[in-house]
Amino acid sequence: MKIEFSSKPDKVCECWPGELTSFSWEDFVTAIPSPLFLVSTYKSNGKENACLQSWSTFIGDSGVFICIIGSVSRNGHLYQSLKETNCCVLNFPSNNIYEMCKKTIYNNGFENDEITMSGLTAEKAVSVNAPRIKECFLNIECELLWEHEHFENSRDVTITLKATHICMDRDHFDENKLGRYGKTGYMYNINTPRNPENGEVTPECYGALELYK
C-alpha cells in the first residue's frame, strides 16, 4: 500500500538543530543514494582543499563527459576555490580509506592541507591545477562549466564540470579483480533514512552496488 505525502509528516523530526532547513524532509523520507567522492582543489593560499561530496550525477553528452554536482554551499572553501581556479579533481574512494576521507570534514581550516592532514596523499594532476588523491581508485580531473542557483537566493548552487582527464587503478576497472562495484568499488551515500509513520531514524550510512545478472 502506498501512502501520499505533500507536507512533512509529523513524526519526522530533526536529529540536530537546523537539519530540516539544511536539507529537506523529502531527503530523509526518500533516502535516495548517491555516489560518494572527494572534490579536491587548491585554496587561494595554495593549501589543499578536500570536500566530501554526494548528491551528484554523471553523464556523457555529444562526446563530452560531465559531472553535475547538485549541491555546493556558497559559503564553503570548495565554492570559493572553484570560482578562483575553475577546476578540481573528483576522487573516488573505496571502503578501506573511507575513515581518512571523513577526517577531511574536520580538518577543514583555511590554513590546513586538508588531504595530507587526513592521512591521504596529494599528488599533481595531469591536466588541471588541482591536487589528486593518490589512494582513491578513480580520479576525474575537471574544468568548471557553469553554476546555477537552485532558486532565487538559495544557500547552495548546482555546479557542472567537464572531465579533462581520467586516472583509474587497473584492478578496479577489471571486474575479475577489485572491480568498480560491490564492497571494493564505488561507495554510495545514504542520508539518514526516516520512517515517515513512526519517525524511526536509520543512522547515516553508506553502501555499495550489488550487480544483478
pLDDT, tens digit (0-9, with 9 covering 90-100), for 70-120? 999 999 999 999 999 999 999 999 999 999 999 999 999 999 999 999 999
Which residues are CB-contacts of 205 (< 8 A; sequence separation ≥ 6)? 190
What pLDDT does residue 213 have? 77
In a domain, 120, yes or no: yes
In a domain, 201, yes or no: no
Grid cell locating 28: 530523509
Beta strands across the sheet bearing 205-207: 34-35, 188-190, 205-207
What pLDDT does residue 32 have? 94
**Could you give the 3-state DSSP secondary structure of residue 164?**
strand
In a domain, 54, yes or no: yes
* Cα distance between residue 48 and residue 65, in whole Å: 25
Where the chain has pLDDT below 70, the residues are none
In a domain, 191, yes or no: no
Domain that includes residue 117, residue range: 32-173
In a domain, 69, yes or no: yes
In a domain, 186, yes or no: no
Task: Report helix, strand and coil shares of the chain as percent, to nearest 5.
Answer: 20, 35, 45
* Cα distance between residue 184 and residue 178, in whole Å: 6
Domain count, the chain: 1
> How many helices (H) and strands (E) would you count in the chain?
6, 12
Total-model pTM? 0.94
* Cα distance between residue 92 and residue 98, in whole Å: 10
In a domain, 134, yes or no: yes
In a domain, 179, yes or no: no
What pLDDT does residue 130 have? 98
* Cα distance between residue 131 and residue 143, in whole Å: 13
Can you give the CATH number for the domain in which 107 is found? 2.30.110.10
